[in-house]
Amino acid sequence: MKIHEYQAKEIFSRYSIPVTREELCFTVEEVSSATQKLGLPVVVKAQVLAGGRGKAGGVKLAKSLDEATTAATAILGMDIKGYTVEKVLVAEGVRFNNEVYVGLTIDRKSKSVIFMASREGGVEIEEVAKENPDAILKFPIDPDLGMTPFLARKIAFSLFTEFSLVKQAADMFQKLYRIFMDTDASLVEINPLVITDEGNLLALDGKMNFDDNALFRQSAIEAIMEPDEDEKVELDAKSKGLTFIRLDGSIGCMVNGAGLAMATMDMIKLYGGEPANFLDIGGSSSPKKVIDAMNLILSDPKVKVVMINIFGGITRCDDVARGLVAALEQIKVEIPIVIRLAGTNSKEGLEILKQAQLPVVETMTQAAQKAITLCETISHL
Amino acid sequence: MSILVNKNTKLIVQGITGRDGSFHASKMKAYGTNVVGGVSPGKGGQEVDGIPVFNTVSDAVKATGADTSIIFVPAPLAADAILEASEAGVSLVISISEGVPTLDMIKVTPYLKKNGTKLIGSNCPGLITPGEALVGILPGNIFLKGGVGLMSRSGTLTYEMVHQLTTNGLGQSTCVGIGGDPVAGLYFQELLQMFQDDPETEAIVLIGEIGGDAEEQAAQYIKENVTKPVVAFIAGQSAPEGKRMGHAGAIISSGTGTAEEKIAAFEAVGVPVARRPEEIPALLIKMLKK
């Protein structure tokens, strides 16, 4: 889960981390009055939940009121990686002489939160990581000790030489760690963190991502999240006990288990087809879930064939088959379905499906191949 | 031999009076696992399917001598349940709970390390040593005793693989579901070492997926430390970037954690990677003949 730059910086401010003076604007008029209030120059920045907005032209420096309104006109309504820009942040333009990168994230290997610091600020950190990985220093944080003053100083000394800056930075890094822990973040980033001409540290940008599994105890964060259209569908599916992700292909998938669902998509792709979605229906045989899942798949007009792949474990295949039959009796599916059922009591399950005149196959490979053939046949009609 | 669990395992079930806990406690017992007790605060003195229930893990361990605990509690309570098991002296904890906050897992890690407690999960299906002990939610009937050690980040995909192995006559020594979360307990490296050291295990199947770089590290570890044949499968070759594919840890972020990188890492150290689950048995047989 992500939030916007302005929202991240509001959180930073609450922990008294210095950020640029700025205002959120939805119209060109608002940009105009914000510019007059903040004073020139200003930076007009698109607020979208997608990376790479700078490259897309979503960040512009304005040295006059005219330039600010021109920038706002250009950016508002702009499309950045499929997101329409509906709001911009107008921030004071700051003179600075040095920029660095700092961030906190989860490190899977050390099973800890790590602090990342780089003197190469202002550019996308992913690119630094690829081209010059040694330029990013990583400091694991002991979960029992937290961000101790000495560790914060050590990190600060890796970035700055002047002691007054080191002191400011060390204080800021401890606060950043507190933010990370308090909000169940998965990423907190300031890029760039600059030294102003007055010799102060200032967060010019801010980025925060959060752990979806912790939202139950982060109501303040949950309240400010803005799910996009895809995420709304995903959240709605989740409320029905389904994990759903829409993709671009034409073969709808219904699978039990996330790993098997991924493997099913991979199989379709391997044989030259394109999956329309990832869908994990979990481990029950309830017809209700199958109906919900089917409705979700069929809501996508691109879907031409539905492939159902169920491995019966604790929930036996005969129960799964009865659930499928009951569900498919209740909803009308006008496009072809391919069902693959394996595992516990698969013989009995397949028999039930055959008696209900449902098309069954025994292996994943057969299912994928059949779904693709059907899909191609339909496309040629 | 086998790894982690066997017929001598003494298991307690934390959350035994809940829906999932009671259901799977009975399933495990029916499989033949030595389920010696359960824990449910406030329900001490009761019984579930003939299994005595205790108020605390400490009470359960004192009364039964349990050495292994499996956790079926709601995700917000899982970290505390893990700590309680560790404090009570249980040496192996399996956390089935799905949806545990990552920072909770990070916070329990040092305590487990200090106590020498091994953890599997969270968000995992558990593990099984066929014919001896089922500690998890895996369907016991699909497994067959034998020489293949299996480790996997996924649940049903594991069953699919095991089904392929069993129907091709390839039995398993122990199968471990390590779970789909970004921060989890025992992982590929530790399990590779255990399977390497286990005389009963002749070959190893590793099932990875997108997200993180544990597969790449495992590949390096295999090159340096594992002499037994290893075959792999990686799920998520068709997954889009930036989306969590069901598992919290299964996400390609900023172009890293892709299936291609992982497959390349394994193939570079001579570990064949199946493109379809159905290919695993043939690959194993080929490796075993070498």
Residues A125-142 have pLDDT tens digits of 888 888 888 899 999 999
Nearest-CA distance B166 → chain A (Å): 11
Q: What is the DSSP letter of A133?
A: G
- Using CA atoms, how far apart are residues B210 and B83, in angstroms rounded to an integer? 29
Cα–Cα distances (Å) from A122 to A59, A63, A102, A119, in that order, read: 13, 20, 10, 9
Which of A217, A260, A361, A362 best probes binding to B when mutated, by most B CB atoms within 10 angstroms? Answer: A260
Q: What is the pLDDT of residues A172-200, one digit of tens each?
A: 999 999 999 999 999 999 999 999 999 99
- Is A262's CB within 8 Å of B106's CB? no
**Residues of chain B found within 8 Å of residue A214, distances taken between Cβ atoms:** 101-104
Q: What are phi and psi of B119, to 5 degrees?
A: -125, 140
**Predicted local confidence at residue A231, as pLDDT:** 86
Tell whether omega for the bond before A33 is within 30 degrees of 0, i.e. cis: no
Nearest by CB to residue A259, choosing from B155, B237, B254, is B155
Are the CB atoms for A254 and A244 separated by under 8 Å?
no
Nearest by CB to residue B157, choosing from A51, A111, A257, is A257
Listing DSSP states for B262-285 in one string gives HHHHHHHTT--EESSGGGHHHHHH
Residues of A annotated as catalytic are 101, 189
Are the CB atoms for B130 and B144 separated by under 8 Å?
yes
Tracing tokens 């599994």 back to the chain, one arrives at: A213
| Whether ipTM exceeds 0.90 | yes
Cα–Cα distances (Å) from A199 to A26, A100, A156, A193, A196, in that order, read: 33, 14, 15, 12, 5
Pick the residue from chain B with its C-alpha nearest to A366. Answer: B278
Residues in chain A: 381
Pick the residue from chain B with its C-alpha nearest to A266. Answer: B238
- Which residues does chain A have with pLDDT short of 50? none
Nearest-CA distance B112 → chain A (Å): 12
Are the CB atoms for A35 and A42 separated by under 8 Å?
yes
Which of B95, B102, B280 best probes binding to A when mutated, by most A CB atoms within 10 angstroms? Answer: B102
Q: What angle do CA A123, A152, A105 make, to 5 degrees?
A: 50
**Residues of chain B found within 8 Å of residue A269, distances taken between Cβ atoms:** 237-238
Nearest-CA distance A176 → chain B (Å): 15
Nearest by CB to residue A213, choosing from B27, B210, B248, is B248
SS3 A158: helix
Nearest by CB to residue B102, choosing from A213, A267, A280, is A213
- Using CA atoms, how far apart are residues A74 and A364, in angstroms rounded to an integer? 50
**CB pairs < 8 Å spanning A and B:** 164
Nearest-CA distance B213 → chain A (Å): 8
Tracing tokens 């600020």 back to the chain, one arrives at: A121
Nearest by CB to residue B156, choosing from A144, A213, A259, is A259
- Using CA atoms, how far apart are residues B183 and B82, in angstroms rounded to an integer? 14
Pick the residue from chain A with its C-alpha nearest to B277. Answer: A263
* Catalytic-labelled residue, pool B247, B252, B265, B273: B247
- Is B103's CB within 8 Å of A184's CB? yes
For residue A193, give the amino acid letter: L
Cα–Cα distances (Å) from A147 to A110, A180, A186, A283, B194, in that order, read: 16, 11, 16, 41, 35
Q: Look at the alpha carbons of B72, B73, B75, B79 in this order and tell me if their dihedral is positive or negative.
A: negative
Give residue B255's Cα distance to chain centre: 27
pTM of the complete model beyond 0.90: yes
Give residue B195's Cα distance to chain centre: 13
**Residues of chain A found within 8 Å of residue B276, distances taken between Cβ atoms:** 267, 270, 364-365
Alpha helices in A276-338 (DSSP H): 287-298, 317-330
- Is A257's CB within 8 Å of B110's CB? no
- Using CA atoms, how far apart are residues A88 and A28, in angstroms rounded to an integer? 9
**Predicted local confidence at residue A381, as pLDDT:** 62
Q: B81 pLDDT exceeds 90?
A: yes
Cα–Cα distances (Å) from B219 to A26, A138, A263, A273, in that order, read: 51, 23, 21, 30
- Is A365's CB within 8 Å of B254's CB? no
Which of B238, B245, B253, B258 best probes binding to A when mutated, by most A CB atoms within 10 angstroms? Answer: B238
Is B163 a residue of the active site?
Answer: no
